[in-house]
Structures are given as C-alpha cells and as structure tokens.
Amino acid sequence: MKMAIRYGVIGTGALGGFYGGMLAKAGHEVHFLFRSDYEYVRNHGLQVESVNGDFHLSEVNAYPNTEEMPLCDVILVCLKTTGNHHLPELIKPILHAKSVVVLLQNGLGLEEDLSAQLPGVAIAGGLAFICSNKIGPGHIHHLDYGKLIIGSYNVPEQEILKQIVSDFQLAGIHSELSPDLKFSRWQKLVWNIPFNGMTVVLNTTTDRLMSNNQTRELSKELMLEVIHGANACGVPLKESLAQQMIDMTVKMKPYAPSMKLDYDHRRAMEIEYIYSKPLETAGKAGFEMCKVAMLEKQLRFIQAHLLDK
C-alpha cells in the first residue's frame, strides 16, 4: 500500500517551481522554501506557464526558511550547485530518520560531497531534461521537454524511489527510475558541458549554435570527448548519443541554458560540478578532456571578470 509522501522543495526556481508545482497541482502535500519571492507567493501564489498547459496555485505552502517547515519524507533540492555549501544547514531542520534527499541538480560528484557532509542520510540524484526558466517572482516558464530521471546513491529501500517516480508520473511528468545514477549523470553532462559553456563564451543561444556549421560541429566534438571521458571511467555511453543530442537540440525551441542566464544576470556559474569535477574524475581514470578543459578555463576567466565588476 502506497503511503502519502510529504515533499519539501529547497529552491523554488525554474526546476523546483515547475516540478514541485506539478506535484502540488496533482494534490500532493508539498512545502516550498522561498527566499526573495516568499512575500509575493504568500500573497499571489505560484504561476506556471507551461507548453503542456498553464496553471496557477493560489494556495502555496510557502516558507522563508526551513526552520519553519515540517519534517519531510522526500526533500527535492533544486538550488544551483553554487549554493551547495548551505545544504547541510538547510536540510537538517526538515530531516527525519527515513527522509530521502533528491538532488535535482546538474553535474558530477554532488551526492558524494553531500554524503560526506550529512553521513547516514539517504541520498538520490535527479536529472531533469527540461527547458524551464524563472521569469519573475513566483513565475515559472516551462518551454519544452520535462523528463525526470531519478537514481539511488545510497538509498537503502528502492520502494520509496519507485513511489516518487510514480507520483511524478501521475502528476503528468515523464519520469523514470535509473538503474545506474553514475551513467545518468554522465549522460546528462554530454548535453550540459557543450551547451551551458558555449552559450556563455559565445554569448548566444542553442538555436544559433545549431544553425552554424562550425559551432554545431564543435558541439558534437565536445560531446564525443565527454562520452570518451565517461568510457574511461567505466560508464558505457555510446558515440551515437552525440548525434542523438544534436538532433534533439536542433528541434528544441530557442533556449538559453541556466548557466547563460546566470551569466546574463551576473550570478556565479555552476562551473565546479559541471566542468571541474568531470575533468578531475576523467583525469584520474587516465583520460584528458582537452576541449572541455579549455572551455572550463574560459568560463573561469569570465567568472572572475564578472565577480570583479
């Protein structure tokens, strides 16, 4: 018999607002952590414009801090990884003995770092294949896709993950359980590494990268390098995945990935987990991702220049 899961959402932006909003719309108990949007959402609710149908939640369980939130069975972490040093203090107030923390974040090495900070806590990873942006206070714009893959890092009971996947499916989200979280994280990096970085360095969007022969070819070269890096780490990604992702991106609506939006708004970019950790991991396995390393250095330069302003 399925139990009713109490969800907590840490970071109600492009991901947390959409996925948490979909769960709440479907009738699940969802508690949302807000920062600057707290007063607005308390007064006006949460608005989601979606390619699959717009909706508005007039009554939202909104909180300005996790100390005021109830204990949660499943904690969906949707913060940018640049804020992960705050996670232990944010998560502890809403943890109970059987809570599961799901990191809906991009990159590699996230679960290992959080497990070291919160020993004994059950942790899973989540991969969101979605085009979604926060465009205003309590206002999310879902442009395309939305698939969610969830996999265990150290969760002792798989039944809870199966129920999370089922809850998302019934809420209208294409969701799957990953048998291998490491595989899924590297698979997502095949898209994230070229397109997050290149849209920043070239100050552009995915459609413009795909419409130019040189940048489309460079995108594929970067993808293949990530695939070979994954292979060196024992992750059996196929080279054909690169062309599949190119084809998918060609069909995608014009999109500025999250790192490009962070750059545009002069915010810290998620370089550590999307670039530095994969480079380090592949390097330890004996494979140097030279093109990825060059992109990382360019992003580090841009980041330093941003912070100097």
* Beta carbons of 293 and 282 less than 8 angstroms apart: no
Helices 181-201 & 213-232 angle (0-180, nearest 10): 150
φ and ψ at residue 78, rounded to 5 degrees: -120, 15
Amino acid at 221: E
Output the CA–CA distances (angstroms, integers) from residue 140 to 16, 126, 253, in the order listed. 9, 19, 16
Q: How far is CA 259 from the centre of its chain?
A: 11
| Closest by CA position to 144, among listed 229, 255, 233 | 255
Give the C-alpha separation, 77 to 15, whole Å. 9
The answer to whether 109 and 40 have CB atoms below 8 angstroms apart is no
Catalytic residues: 188
Distance CA 254, CA 216 (A): 14
